[in-house]
Structure 1
Amino acid sequence: MKNVSNERAEVRCGLLGGAIPLIAFFLAIIVFSIYGIRGTKSYWSAGVVAMIISFFIFKDKDQFQKAVVDGVRDEVFVMSLLALYFAGILSKTLTAGHLVNGLMWAASEVNLSPAIMPLATFVITAAIATASGTSSGSVATMTPVMLPLCVSMGCSAEIICGAIVSGAYFGDNLAPVSDTTIASAMTQEVSLGKVVRSRLKYSITGAVFASIMFYIFGGAAVDVGAAATIKADASYAISVAYVILPILVVVLMICGKNLLTSLLLTDLIGMIMLLVLRDAGPVEILSAGGLIVSGIEGMQGATILMMFAFIMNSLTRSTGFMDRMIDFVRMHAKTPRSSECGIAAFICCLMIATGGNTASIAVTGPMARRIMRPFRVARERTANILDGMTSGVGCFVPHSPANATMASLAVSLGVVANESFSAFDYAKYNFHGMALIAIFWLAIFTGWGRRIETAEELLADGIEVE
């Protein structure tokens, strides 16, 4: 192949041509869903369709190939792929250890009501996500435990999925150790402390709304017949010991270990526990049909879908379309409100198209800082808008890492029989996502929380006053 420069790729259809890869991918997912073709594996076809369309849009096929390769070798994608595979192995380990049966026994001992399980799931996941700072990691940790347990108790699978994803994005939005919190703060030249303190009022308001809704809908979403037939087997009491595995993932991340390291070490300990407690032997763990292979296979739906999302993002980025959109927003931003509207709309569209919180903030953040700098609006406010919008919208995007992980695990665990299961099936229960989107648009239009920084504040942080 001939050498390809780093110049912008030339495409047909002018400015719109640069956006076609992402537009085609997103529209294909929507059209497929309308016609009942859903699920992470079904959306692979949307990726192929979008790639074919993009191939004909790009004038230079070598630039097209380079952009595709750049998307696949993106460091974030590679790390996400490996983390998802190890998360799949963990879910199979917990299944082999009969953790759900052990937790059902424990729930029967304390007479735990199925009606409060959606709320409890949201609160526990939110706490774990806040401690660990990762939405997809929290989904990977909580789903193998809470989803089969709650469904076995008679809860709707959809409302539990909504509770887990809502809790995961609550923590991802608020946690000081979250990459999105850090990215939003750094791109706006403001300290993490200021960002987290100012963000509390928005996050807590959304969490209170979500908690009320999960409490109200929790009882309505319980299958009374299924709940009444639950039989707790005391012989599975020892299986409660496996709960240490998801807890260990969280503890390791709190101690500064990355998600991949935490999952790898936990998988190792989990396999040792299976051998010691005689819940599985070497053959059940290592064979072609064993838990390692089945765990990896169960996550292929999510990883391949994410691969296509990263490819489409790389194709669009190579055309310079993102830069042109940034220039357009900057040119039309005349007031603090109109500027915030433009920034919020841009990052929402970017999040819908790419599904990546951190990537969307990394692209939009520097532009947002340049736009808002002349108005002296508190830097933490812009950081909150960036992170809040991506977290809210992320709850509903089927190709976001959290939702792709959720859908793959739900099918892999056998909790839902339909392989077309996706974020669209539990979107109506993503109460925290709904709240975040509504709260931040309300804040933008009403000015709630908008504060003008003084010259002294800016100078104290080493920011040049314009």
Structure 2
Amino acid sequence: MKQEEKQISFGWAIIPLIIMIAAMSYTIVIVGGDPHIPLILGTVVAALIALKCGFSWGEIEGGLYKGIRLALPAIVIIIMVGIIIGAWIGGGIIATMVYYGLKLISPSLFLVSITVIAAIVALAIGSSWSTMGTIGVAGMGIGLSMGIPAPMIAGAIISGAYFGDKMSPLSDSTNLAAGVVGVDLFEHIKHMFFTTIPGLVIALVVYWFLGRQFSTISMEDGQISEIMTQLQANFVITPWLLLVPAIVILLVAKKVPALPALTVGVFLGLVSQVFVQGGQIGDAINTLQGGFSIVSGNEMIDSLFNRGGIDDMMYTVSLTIVAMTFGGVLENTGMLKSIVNQILKVAKTGKGLVSTAISTAFITNVTAAEQYISVVVPGRMYAQSFRDKKLHPKNLSRAVEDGGTLTSVFVPWNTCAIFIFATLAVHPLEYAPYAILNLVVPIISFIYAWTGFSITPLPPGGDVKVDQDDRKVI
């Protein structure tokens, strides 16, 4: 029997997902454990069902490894971000950014400011992960020093980073959505203006209201003054160190790939630790592996700066691998397709189809645990259906971004949420209410789908031809 002839019914396909979510809820909410074992349990159940439905162990194992291979680029970035966090803390770069941030940014406007800064940086470099791993880490330090709750800070950073990533022509997820669906990249970005710009405006208004409660915090406040004094006592603070993140951002903006650009950042951080901070070369190298260590006597500084390095990211790497084994088995045995096909049956109209695409992208985030799959799977599966309903493909590319790219941060076992937890040290269930942009844009997208606003029909002639070289509708 050929693999493509084997089909797993919706009833069987949904069982691993139900068991995994039930086990995840019990483990995280009641026991207070980690999500690894529930994901492994889900993978085992999915494999057993696939065996029952006629798949060989070799086919199941192949799907499992395919899922892991898909996550390898993310794993490499996760490791590199761990190294750069260690290097920048050791080199005093993060301390310098925190110090000057405390001097320049008003507490009442901090949430608005960090959202805008993260948005500009992510727009320039096209990467939410790189933005959160650099500017985001410093932003957490500044906000915590001002007494702002960590979930609020993380939510603002995430909102800004994902706005910039989503609207940047340099973003891999944005290019992927346009390419998979077959629409011009800038047509896709312009169509996202309708949902993403209102989402950013709403987010900034909410952050302005939330920030008003911190207007009584004075920059001469004893806690803030103590933190700034401790930073000066433990690090050499100089504006010259701000050139390091500026150089990395410039390199990525000039379309230097993320890994080489981050490598330059690591090298500059290591050099800063040795020649600016006066550290030993051996200690600087060990910081890249085991992270930075400091005993300042200030609990907040110690918790912020005792981190980084490869070792600090191994929990994240292991969770990413486990999550992708689950998603790999579901996708490559056809279980995910079976679930999506069942959802597709409820889409009787064009409006219903757009809503279905948004929902499917989110469900794929839950089942496959990977943002890119949430873009690729609905983009592939609904392309013909959108043409049949006489809908322009840019409606689909926007739908998978609104429902997939943005919602990935809310699924604790998704690679994006895993990365954020490792980088910003805030759990997805804590920052979720404050990631305003990521919350409201899918809602806006649903409203547009139901009302028909900004839903673009196919041009006269009706058919869509895709230029495979330029990946655009012609």
Quick one: which of 59, 73, 80 aligns to 1:63?
A: 59
Q: Does 1:116 align with 2:109?
A: yes
Tell me, which stretches of 5 or more residues in structure 2 are unaligned?
Answer: 292-308
Residue 151 to residue 240, structure 1, CA distance change in 2 (3 Å):
farther
Quick one: which of 57, 82, 101 aligns to 2:76?
A: 82
1:36 Cα shift?
5.2
Tell me, which stretches of 5 or more residues in structure 1 are unaligned?
Answer: 412-420
Q: In the alignment, which residue of structure 1 is the partner of 2:245?
A: 246
Q: Is the 8 A contact 1:166 1:433 kept in 2?
A: yes
Q: In the alignment, which residue of structure 2 is the partner of 1:33?
A: 28
**What is the rounded CA distance, in whole Å, between the counterparts of 1:203 and 1:152 in structure 2?**
31
1:119 Cα shift?
1.3
Q: In the alignment, which residue of structure 1 is the partner of 2:305?
A: none
User: CA deviation digits over 1:191-230, x for unaligned, max 9?
Assistant: 1121111211211100000001111112336895995421
1:282 Cα shift?
1.5
Q: How does 1:230-309 map to 2 (within 5 A)?
A: 230-231=224-225, 232-233=228-229, 238-287=237-286, 290-294=287-291, 295-309=309-323
Q: Does 1:442 align with 2:447?
A: yes
User: CA deviation digits over 1:14-38, x for unaligned, max 9?
Assistant: 5433344444434433332321525
Aligned residue pairs total 442
**What is the rounded CA distance, in whole Å, between the counterparts of 2:206 and 2:395 in structure 1?**
27
Q: In the alignment, which residue of structure 2 is the partner of 1:219?
A: 212
Q: Is the 8 A contact 1:97 1:279 kept in 2?
A: no
Quick one: which of 60, 79, 90 aligns to 1:96?
A: 90
Q: In the alignment, which residue of structure 1 is the partner of 2:369?
A: 355
Quick one: which of 168, 171, 177 aligns to 1:178?
A: 171
**Secondary structure of 1:455's partner?**
coil
Q: Is the 8 A contact 1:329 1:343 kept in 2?
A: no
Residue 43 to residue 432, structure 1, CA distance change in 2 (3 Å):
same
Q: In the alignment, which residue of structure 2 is the partner of 1:106?
A: 100
Q: How does 1:402-441 map to 2 (within 5 A)?
A: 402-411=416-425, 421-441=426-446
Q: In the alignment, which residue of structure 2 is the partner of 1:324?
A: 338
Residue 319 to residue 223, structure 1, CA distance change in 2 (3 Å):
farther
Q: Is the 8 A contact 2:93 2:269 kept in 1?
A: no
User: CA deviation digits over 1:416-450, x for unaligned, max 9?
Assistant: xxxxx511011111111111121011111111111
Q: How does 1:156-175 map to 2 (within 5 A)?
A: 156-175=149-168
Residue 109 to residue 320, structure 1, CA distance change in 2 (3 Å):
closer
Residue 404 to residue 246, structure 1, CA distance change in 2 (3 Å):
farther
Question: Which residue identity does 2:244 align to in structure 1?
Answer: L
Question: Which residue identity does 1:447 align to in structure 2?
Answer: G
**What is the rounded CA distance, in whole Å, between the counterparts of 1:261 and 1:26 in structure 2?**
38
Q: In the alignment, which residue of structure 1 is the partner of 2:301?
A: none
Q: In the alignment, which residue of structure 2 is the partner of 1:414?
A: none
Q: Is the 8 A contact 1:23 1:353 kept in 2?
A: no
**What is the rounded CA distance, in whole Å, between the counterparts of 2:354 and 2:194 in structure 1?**
19
**Secondary structure of 1:256's partner?**
coil
Question: Which residue identity does 2:38 align to in structure 1?
Answer: A
**What is the rounded CA distance, in whole Å, between the counterparts of 1:202 and 1:369 in structure 2?**
21
**Secondary structure of 2:160's partner?**
helix
Q: Is the 8 A contact 2:390 2:462 kept in 1?
A: no
Residue 458 to residue 58, structure 1, CA distance change in 2 (3 Å):
closer
Q: In the alignment, which residue of structure 2 is the partner of 1:395?
A: 409
**What is the rounded CA distance, in whole Å, between the counterparts of 2:97 and 2:267 in structure 1?**
22
Q: Does 1:126 align with 2:119?
A: yes
**What is the rounded CA distance, in whole Å, between the counterparts of 1:127 and 1:190 in structure 2?**
25
**Secondary structure of 1:230's partner?**
helix
**What is the rounded CA distance, in whole Å, between the counterparts of 2:382 and 2:314 in structure 1?**
36
If the length of structure 1 is used for normalisation, what is the TM-score?
0.86
Q: Is the 8 A contact 1:184 1:386 kept in 2?
A: yes
1:139 Cα shift?
1.6
1:5 Cα shift?
7.6
**What is the rounded CA distance, in whole Å, between the counterparts of 1:297 and 1:51 in structure 2?**
26
User: CA deviation digits over 1:373-399, x for unaligned, max 9?
Assistant: 022222222211111111331231223
**What is the rounded CA distance, in whole Å, between the counterparts of 1:83 and 1:31 in structure 2?**
31
Task: Select between 190-199 and 437-446 the one with higher mean Cα deviation.
Answer: 190-199
Q: In the alignment, which residue of structure 1 is the partner of 2:304?
A: none
User: CA deviation digits over 1:316-360, x for unaligned, max 9?
Assistant: 112212333454455553321121122222112112223322221
**What is the rounded CA distance, in whole Å, between the counterparts of 1:6 and 1:304 in structure 2?**
29
Residue 105 to residue 70, structure 1, CA distance change in 2 (3 Å):
closer
Q: In the alignment, which residue of structure 1 is the partner of 2:69?
A: 73
**What is the rounded CA distance, in whole Å, between the counterparts of 2:146 and 2:326 in structure 1?**
41
**What is the rounded CA distance, in whole Å, between the counterparts of 1:259 and 1:20 in structure 2?**
39
Quick one: which of 138, 142, 159 aligns to 1:149?
A: 142
Q: Is the 8 A contact 1:105 1:237 kept in 2?
A: no
**Secondary structure of 1:229's partner?**
helix
**What is the rounded CA distance, in whole Å, between the counterparts of 1:22 and 1:243 in structure 2?**
46
Q: Is the 8 A contact 1:165 1:402 kept in 2?
A: no
User: CA deviation digits over 1:62-94, x for unaligned, max 9?
Assistant: 4333332222233xx111111111111111122
Q: Is the 8 A contact 1:174 1:196 kept in 2?
A: yes
Residue 311 to residue 239, structure 1, CA distance change in 2 (3 Å):
farther
Residue 302 to residue 255, structure 1, CA distance change in 2 (3 Å):
same
Question: Which residue identity does 1:173 align to in structure 2?
Answer: K
Residue 151 to residue 406, structure 1, CA distance change in 2 (3 Å):
same
Residue 462 to residue 113, structure 1, CA distance change in 2 (3 Å):
closer
Q: In the alignment, which residue of structure 2 is the partner of 1:368?
A: 382
Q: Is the 8 A contact 1:274 1:280 kept in 2?
A: yes
Q: Is the 8 A contact 2:122 2:161 kept in 1?
A: yes
**What is the rounded CA distance, in whole Å, between the counterparts of 2:187 and 2:372 in structure 1?**
19
If the length of structure 2 is used for normalisation, what is the TM-score?
0.84
Q: Does 1:384 align with 2:398?
A: yes
C-alpha RMSD of the superposition: 2.9
